[in-house]
Chains A and B, each alone.
Chain A
Protein backbone atom coordinates (compact mmCIF):
# COMPACT_ATOMS: atom_id res chain seq x y z
CA UNK A 1 0.00 0.00 0.00
CA UNK A 2 1.29 3.42 -0.92
CA UNK A 3 2.13 5.47 2.14
CA UNK A 4 0.07 8.39 0.81
CA UNK A 5 -3.01 6.18 0.90
CA UNK A 6 -2.08 5.16 4.43
CA UNK A 7 -2.20 8.80 5.51
CA UNK A 8 -5.53 9.41 3.79
CA UNK A 9 -7.07 6.36 5.49
CA UNK A 10 -5.65 7.47 8.84
CA UNK A 11 -7.20 10.91 8.35
CA UNK A 12 -10.58 9.34 7.62
CA UNK A 13 -10.34 7.06 10.67
CA UNK A 14 -9.44 9.89 13.05
CA UNK A 15 -12.27 11.96 11.61
CA UNK A 16 -14.73 9.12 12.27
CA UNK A 17 -13.45 8.68 15.82
CA UNK A 18 -13.85 12.42 16.44
CA UNK A 19 -17.35 12.55 14.96
CA UNK A 20 -18.43 9.55 17.04
CA UNK A 21 -17.00 11.24 20.12
CA UNK A 22 -19.00 14.40 19.43
CA UNK A 23 -22.17 12.30 19.31
CA UNK A 24 -21.25 10.00 22.19
CA UNK A 25 -20.07 12.32 24.93
CA UNK A 26 -22.16 14.80 26.90
CA UNK A 27 -19.26 16.72 28.42
CA UNK A 28 -18.84 19.95 26.44
CA UNK A 29 -15.08 20.00 26.98
CA UNK A 30 -14.60 16.54 25.52
CA UNK A 31 -16.85 17.45 22.59
CA UNK A 32 -14.51 20.38 22.08
CA UNK A 33 -11.48 18.13 22.00
CA UNK A 34 -13.19 15.84 19.50
CA UNK A 35 -13.90 18.80 17.21
CA UNK A 36 -10.22 19.76 17.39
CA UNK A 37 -9.32 16.19 16.47
CA UNK A 38 -11.61 16.28 13.45
CA UNK A 39 -9.99 19.52 12.27
CA UNK A 40 -6.60 17.88 12.68
CA UNK A 41 -7.56 14.82 10.65
CA UNK A 42 -8.63 17.10 7.81
CA UNK A 43 -5.28 18.87 8.12
CA UNK A 44 -3.52 15.54 7.71
CA UNK A 45 -5.56 14.77 4.60
CA UNK A 46 -4.85 18.21 3.11
CA UNK A 47 -1.10 17.87 3.68
CA UNK A 48 -1.12 14.41 2.10
CA UNK A 49 -3.03 15.69 -0.92
CA UNK A 50 -0.70 18.68 -1.17
CA UNK A 51 2.19 16.23 -1.44
CA UNK A 52 0.33 14.06 -3.95
CA UNK A 53 -0.23 16.97 -6.32
CA UNK A 54 3.16 18.46 -5.69
CA UNK A 55 2.16 22.00 -4.77
CA UNK A 56 1.95 24.02 -1.57
CA UNK A 57 -1.66 25.21 -1.71
CA UNK A 58 -2.88 22.49 0.63
CA UNK A 59 -0.33 23.54 3.22
CA UNK A 60 -1.47 27.18 3.04
CA UNK A 61 -5.00 25.91 3.60
CA UNK A 62 -3.83 24.00 6.69
CA UNK A 63 -2.19 27.17 8.00
CA UNK A 64 -5.51 29.01 7.75
CA UNK A 65 -7.37 26.11 9.39
CA UNK A 66 -4.93 26.23 12.31
CA UNK A 67 -5.64 29.95 12.80
CA UNK A 68 -9.39 29.34 12.67
CA UNK A 69 -9.04 26.48 15.17
CA UNK A 70 -7.15 28.73 17.57
CA UNK A 71 -9.85 31.40 17.29
CA UNK A 72 -12.55 28.77 17.74
CA UNK A 73 -10.95 27.40 20.90
CA UNK A 74 -10.60 30.85 22.46
CA UNK A 75 -14.23 31.80 21.75
CA UNK A 76 -15.65 28.38 22.60
CA UNK A 77 -13.89 28.08 25.93
CA UNK A 78 -15.00 31.63 26.83
CA UNK A 79 -18.61 30.61 26.06
CA UNK A 80 -18.19 27.49 28.22
CA UNK A 81 -16.86 29.50 31.15
CA UNK A 82 -19.64 32.08 30.81
CA UNK A 83 -22.22 29.29 30.68
CA UNK A 84 -20.67 27.53 33.64
CA UNK A 85 -21.07 30.73 35.67
CA UNK A 86 -24.85 30.57 35.27
CA UNK A 87 -25.47 26.82 35.27
CA UNK A 88 -23.13 24.94 37.54
CA UNK A 89 -22.05 22.27 35.07
CA UNK A 90 -20.85 21.74 31.51
CA UNK A 91 -23.20 18.96 30.46
CA UNK A 92 -24.56 19.89 27.04
CA UNK A 93 -28.04 18.76 28.12
CA UNK A 94 -28.17 22.02 30.11
CA UNK A 95 -27.33 24.14 27.06
CA UNK A 96 -30.98 24.86 26.26
CA UNK A 97 -31.30 28.62 26.86
CA UNK A 98 -32.69 29.18 23.36
CA UNK A 99 -35.41 26.55 23.75
CA UNK A 100 -38.74 28.27 24.36
Chain B
Protein backbone atom coordinates (compact mmCIF):
# COMPACT_ATOMS: atom_id res chain seq x y z
CA UNK B 1 0.00 0.00 0.00
CA UNK B 2 2.86 2.32 0.81
CA UNK B 3 4.42 2.05 -2.65
CA UNK B 4 1.06 2.67 -4.26
CA UNK B 5 0.45 5.68 -2.01
CA UNK B 6 3.91 7.00 -2.86
CA UNK B 7 3.27 6.71 -6.61
CA UNK B 8 -0.13 8.40 -6.42
CA UNK B 9 1.35 11.11 -4.21
CA UNK B 10 4.15 11.72 -6.71
CA UNK B 11 1.57 12.02 -9.49
CA UNK B 12 -0.42 14.46 -7.39
CA UNK B 13 2.63 16.62 -6.73
CA UNK B 14 3.61 16.55 -10.41
CA UNK B 15 0.10 17.68 -11.36
CA UNK B 16 0.32 20.47 -8.78
CA UNK B 17 3.58 21.70 -10.30
CA UNK B 18 1.96 21.43 -13.73
CA UNK B 19 -0.80 23.82 -12.62
CA UNK B 20 1.78 26.46 -11.73
CA UNK B 21 4.12 26.15 -14.71
CA UNK B 22 1.63 25.69 -17.57
CA UNK B 23 1.56 28.58 -19.98
CA UNK B 24 -2.10 28.13 -20.94
CA UNK B 25 -4.92 28.29 -18.37
CA UNK B 26 -6.64 25.30 -20.00
CA UNK B 27 -3.61 23.11 -19.31
CA UNK B 28 -3.56 24.39 -15.75
CA UNK B 29 -7.22 23.43 -15.33
CA UNK B 30 -6.58 19.92 -16.64
CA UNK B 31 -3.59 19.49 -14.33
CA UNK B 32 -5.80 20.74 -11.50
CA UNK B 33 -8.33 18.03 -12.33
CA UNK B 34 -5.54 15.41 -12.25
CA UNK B 35 -4.45 16.75 -8.87
CA UNK B 36 -7.99 16.49 -7.48
CA UNK B 37 -8.47 12.97 -8.85
CA UNK B 38 -5.22 11.66 -7.37
CA UNK B 39 -6.08 13.26 -4.04
CA UNK B 40 -9.44 11.44 -4.14
CA UNK B 41 -7.53 8.15 -4.50
CA UNK B 42 -5.44 9.07 -1.46
CA UNK B 43 -8.62 9.81 0.49
CA UNK B 44 -9.81 6.25 -0.16
CA UNK B 45 -6.49 4.95 1.15
CA UNK B 46 -7.00 7.10 4.26
CA UNK B 47 -10.40 5.57 5.19
CA UNK B 48 -12.35 8.59 3.95
CA UNK B 49 -14.61 7.02 1.33
CA UNK B 50 -17.40 9.61 1.64
CA UNK B 51 -14.97 12.49 1.21
CA UNK B 52 -13.32 10.78 -1.77
CA UNK B 53 -16.71 10.67 -3.51
CA UNK B 54 -17.42 14.27 -2.50
CA UNK B 55 -13.99 15.28 -3.81
CA UNK B 56 -14.68 13.80 -7.23
CA UNK B 57 -18.20 15.25 -7.42
CA UNK B 58 -17.55 18.74 -6.02
CA UNK B 59 -13.99 19.47 -7.15
CA UNK B 60 -13.34 17.41 -10.26
CA UNK B 61 -16.96 17.53 -11.39
CA UNK B 62 -18.09 20.98 -10.31
CA UNK B 63 -15.30 23.42 -9.65
CA UNK B 64 -13.02 22.41 -12.53
CA UNK B 65 -15.94 22.54 -14.99
CA UNK B 66 -16.84 26.00 -13.71
CA UNK B 67 -13.24 27.16 -14.14
CA UNK B 68 -13.14 25.70 -17.66
CA UNK B 69 -16.30 27.61 -18.58
CA UNK B 70 -14.78 30.84 -17.31
CA UNK B 71 -11.60 30.14 -19.29
CA UNK B 72 -13.76 29.79 -22.40
CA UNK B 73 -15.44 33.13 -21.63
CA UNK B 74 -12.37 35.18 -20.76
CA UNK B 75 -9.35 33.79 -22.52
CA UNK B 76 -5.71 33.82 -21.63
CA UNK B 77 -3.54 36.68 -20.47
CA UNK B 78 -0.55 37.39 -22.72
CA UNK B 79 1.12 39.54 -20.05
CA UNK B 80 1.58 36.68 -17.59
CA UNK B 81 5.04 36.66 -16.08
CA UNK B 82 5.62 32.99 -16.73
CA UNK B 83 6.20 33.75 -20.39
CA UNK B 84 8.71 36.49 -19.71
CA UNK B 85 11.34 34.35 -18.04
CA UNK B 86 12.73 35.07 -14.60
CA UNK B 87 11.82 38.63 -13.81
CA UNK B 88 12.45 40.11 -10.38
CA UNK B 89 8.96 39.41 -8.96
CA UNK B 90 9.25 35.82 -10.19
CA UNK B 91 12.59 35.31 -8.44
CA UNK B 92 11.23 36.92 -5.28
CA UNK B 93 8.18 34.63 -5.24
CA UNK B 94 10.34 31.55 -5.82
CA UNK B 95 12.56 32.56 -2.90
CA UNK B 96 9.50 33.11 -0.70
CA UNK B 97 8.20 29.69 -1.69
CA UNK B 98 11.50 28.08 -0.74
CA UNK B 99 11.45 29.88 2.62
CA UNK B 100 7.92 28.56 3.25
CA UNK B 101 9.06 25.07 2.28
CA UNK B 102 12.06 25.25 4.62
CA UNK B 103 9.97 26.44 7.56
CA UNK B 104 7.37 23.73 6.99
CA UNK B 105 10.05 21.03 6.74
CA UNK B 106 11.73 22.26 9.93
CA UNK B 107 8.40 22.23 11.73
CA UNK B 108 7.33 18.83 10.45
CA UNK B 109 10.55 16.95 11.17
CA UNK B 110 10.21 17.57 14.88
CA UNK B 111 6.49 16.78 15.01
CA UNK B 112 6.06 13.67 12.93
CA UNK B 113 6.15 11.22 15.83
CA UNK B 114 2.74 12.29 17.14
CA UNK B 115 -0.29 10.06 16.57
CA UNK B 116 -0.15 6.32 16.37
CA UNK B 117 -1.97 5.77 13.08
CA UNK B 118 -4.59 3.60 14.74
CA UNK B 119 -7.24 4.26 12.14
CA UNK B 120 -10.93 4.95 12.62
CA UNK B 121 -13.05 2.07 13.81
CA UNK B 122 -16.05 2.83 11.62
CA UNK B 123 -14.01 4.38 8.79
CA UNK B 124 -15.13 7.43 6.86
CA UNK B 125 -18.10 5.70 5.26
CA UNK B 126 -21.11 7.83 4.29
CA UNK B 127 -23.09 6.31 7.16
CA UNK B 128 -20.48 7.22 9.78
CA UNK B 129 -19.88 10.75 8.46
CA UNK B 130 -23.61 11.33 8.03
CA UNK B 131 -24.35 10.25 11.60
CA UNK B 132 -21.76 12.69 12.93
CA UNK B 133 -23.02 15.48 10.66
CA UNK B 134 -26.65 15.13 11.71
CA UNK B 135 -26.05 14.67 15.44
CA UNK B 136 -23.02 16.43 16.89
CA UNK B 137 -22.39 18.83 14.01
CA UNK B 138 -25.97 19.70 13.05
CA UNK B 139 -25.62 23.46 13.67
CA UNK B 140 -22.46 23.87 11.51
CA UNK B 141 -24.18 21.81 8.84
CA UNK B 142 -27.13 24.22 8.78
CA UNK B 143 -24.73 27.17 8.62
CA UNK B 144 -23.10 25.57 5.58
CA UNK B 145 -26.51 25.48 3.91
CA UNK B 146 -27.05 29.20 4.59
CA UNK B 147 -23.54 29.99 3.34
CA UNK B 148 -24.17 28.19 0.06
CA UNK B 149 -27.49 30.01 -0.41
CA UNK B 150 -25.86 33.41 0.21
CA UNK B 151 -23.00 32.54 -2.17
CA UNK B 152 -25.50 31.53 -4.86
CA UNK B 153 -27.41 34.81 -4.58
CA UNK B 154 -24.19 36.83 -4.46
CA UNK B 155 -22.78 35.15 -7.55
CA UNK B 156 -26.04 35.78 -9.43
CA UNK B 157 -26.06 39.47 -8.50
CA UNK B 158 -22.40 40.01 -9.36
CA UNK B 159 -22.49 38.08 -12.62
CA UNK B 160 -25.56 39.97 -13.87
CA UNK B 161 -25.16 42.63 -16.54
CA UNK B 162 -25.81 46.05 -15.03
CA UNK B 163 -28.92 47.84 -16.30
CA UNK B 164 -28.14 50.24 -19.12
CA UNK B 165 -24.90 48.44 -19.95
CA UNK B 166 -24.71 47.65 -23.67
CA UNK B 167 -24.83 44.07 -24.86
CA UNK B 168 -21.30 42.95 -25.71
CA UNK B 169 -20.23 42.47 -29.30
CA UNK B 170 -18.42 39.23 -29.95
CA UNK B 171 -14.76 39.95 -30.67
CA UNK B 172 -12.49 38.12 -33.09
Residues in A lying within 8 Å of B, measured CB to CB:
2-10, 12-21, 23-30, 32-34, 36-37, 40, 43-44, 47-57, 59-60, 62-64, 66-75, 77-82, 84-85, 89-91, 93
Contact = CB atoms under 8 A, between A and B. Distances in A.
Given A51-B117, A60-B133, A75-B155, A12 B54 contact: no
Interface in B76-127: 76-77, 79-82, 89-90, 92-94, 96-97, 100-101, 104-105, 108, 112, 114-122, 124
A67 B119 contact: no
Given A24-B81, A74-B151, A36 B66 contact: no
Nearest to A21: B20
Contacts, number: 244
A80 B77 CA distance: 13
Contacts of B112: 2, 5, 8
A76 to B, nearest CB: 9
B159 interface: yes
A73 to B, nearest CB: 5
9 contacts: A15-B104, A17-B17, A25-B80, A29-B71, A37-B35, A44-B42, A56-B124, A77-B67, A85-B165
A59 B74 contact: no
A71 B97 CA distance: 27
A59 B140 CA distance: 13
A89 to B, nearest CB: 6
B76 A75 contact: no
B63 A36 contact: yes
In the A-B complex, the 3 residue pairs with the closest CB atoms: A52-B115, A20-B97, A23-B93
B82 A25 contact: yes
A39 B55 CA distance: 12
Contact of A91 (B35, B80, B94): B80
Pick from A28, A59, A90 the residue with the most CB of B within 10 Å.
A59
Interface in B39-69: 39, 42-43, 45-48, 50-51, 54-55, 58-59, 62-63, 66-67
